[in-house]
Structure 1
Amino acid sequence: MGIFSHIIFDLDGTLTDNTQGIKNSLKYALQQMHVDGYDENILERFIGPPLQWGFQTHFGLSERDTKLAVEYFREFYGENGWHQNDPYDGIMELLAELDAQGKKMYVATAKLEKFANKIIRHFEMDRYIIQLKGADYHAKKATKDVIIEEVLSMQQLVPSKEIIVVGDTVYDIDGGRKNAISTLAVGYGFGNEEELRAANPDYFAEDVDELYEILTA
């Protein structure tokens, strides 16, 4: 089992379960865009990738309408959705143990950075997280590989297998691989397990207990 000195976590689906907040924000945005008659299960596919990709891919919105839908999403999320959220059972204990072991921890998320910062402060994860990087307001830096690269660059970290990214989607695994660091997929989040395993992460954790075993080894 690898020994990791630096750990880059995804946020939604990895540290916290923000299902309800994201779904409610999406419902509000789609209502404002007069989009109806959709299967609500499709909303789960928005969790992980950039919002812009979700609106364009799943609802075929134009670039202009996508920008408007994202604004409506952020309007609701900024007021209500961000705190309709909970850390997964065992996550706070894991962060505390990793901190006690001297591990350096970061967050790389496709969520808008200002919302992600509110979440980690709300749950007091900021006592453990050295740096959080998220998407900028115009989503010019929303892809996971770019966000991870920014964390590495700003922390002056040379890519190595002692640095690991932990996430619940293929975007996290691909982002880690493109930056030449170790990758760990979690099976308890929002990603499709078959797709995650097909992405060939270096490690796979079915639940937080397995994640604990891998990261604290």
Structure 2
Amino acid sequence: MSAIDTLIFDWDGTLADSVGHIVRAMQGASEAVGLSVPSAHAVRGIIGLALPEAAATLFPRDRQLWVALVDAYRDFYLSGEQAPVALFPGVREALDSWRAQGFRLAVATGKGRNGLVRILEQHDMLDYFDATRCADEAVSKPDPAMLYQLLDELGASSSTALMVGDSGFDIQMAHNAGMCALAVSYGAQSREQLLAFGPMDCIDVFAEMPVWLQANRVVAGHNMIERV
């Protein structure tokens, strides 16, 4: 049995309430470059991937427009970012508490570095995380490269780290790194979709996580929980 000492979070849809913003930006960008407008469900299904992989997944037959779509998406996202994307209720307070308890805190996100720095600055949170890794710095999720890099930087072990995310890509990435995963159903994907990937557990609002972590800090294996 091992005690969790490292918490690694996805950003969009896990800590920040940005899924709707992403959907609108991708739909607007698709229309702008002459592609069919994807449904909100389809866009939610690619959240977590790096932008090039997201474009390829949404429009596999339109390779010639992938670069234009990525550029248009960035423009639409920035134009819609008139105010900082809100954090889910309780996020800042929970991060403060976990830092005080001695947890290592990290972010593994499908955002690019510039985008993550911008939103962390907007929320005055540049010093909240011990390490962060972005989609333009590693192979896209669900490849485990981001997690391996974070563990190496933090001097942490996969056996005592927990990945928290709102997409199947997050859960797959954690499994690929030999790490436990906690799913959250309030972001991009539903509880039913997430449970199909085999997380340790799934919570429905962020406010449940501090209670869940207190009850499940000691884990046995990668998918079994021992209550404390």
TM-score range, shorter chain: 0.7 to 0.9
Deviations 1:94-136 (A, max 9, x none): 1111111111100001111220121122212333211111011
* 1:30 to 1:213, Cα distance in 2 relative to 1, 3 A: same
TM-score w.r.t. the length of structure 1 is 0.86
* Aligned-partner Cα distance in 2 for 1:44–1:203: 21
Cα distance in 1, alignment partners of residues 179 and 36 from structure 2: 42
What is the root-mean-square deviation of aligned Cα atoms in Å?
Answer: 2.4
Q: Distance in 2 between matches of 1:199 and 1:133?
A: 23
Which residue of structure 2 lines up, in the alignment, with residue 87 of structure 1?
Answer: 87
SS of alignment partner, residue 54 of structure 2? helix
Quick check: which one's helix share is greater? 1
Unaligned 5+ segments in structure 2 are: 216-228
The 5-angstrom pairing of residues 115-194 of structure 1 reads 115-136=115-136, 141-144=139-142, 145-160=144-159, 162-194=160-192
State which of 173, 184, 205 in structure 1 corresponds to 2:203. Answer: 205
Deviations 1:67-114 (A, max 9, x none): 221111123324544855110111111111111111110000111122
The number of residue pairs the alignment matches comes to: 214
The match for 1:56 is 56
1:8 alignment counterpart:
8
Does the Cα contact within 8 Å between 1:83 and 1:119 map onto a contact in 2? no
| Residue 38 to residue 77, structure 1, CA distance change in 2 (3 Å) | closer
- TM-score using structure 2 length: 0.83
2:30 is equivalent to residue 30 of structure 1: yes
Contact 2:27–2:37 (8 Å) recurs in 1: no
Q: Judge conservation of contact 2:47–2:110 (CA < 8 Å) in 1.
A: no
1:28/1:76 contact within 8 Å kept: yes
Partner of 1:43 in structure 2?
A: 43
Query: Secondary structure at the residue paired with 2:134?
Result: strand
Tell me if the contact between 1:78 and 1:115 (Cα under 8 Å) persists in the aligned partners. no
**Is the CA contact (8 Å cut-off) linking 1:108 and 1:134 kept in structure 2?**
yes
Question: How many Å separate the matches in 2 of 1:102 and 1:38?
Answer: 43
C-alpha separation in 1, matches of 2:21 and 2:183: 23
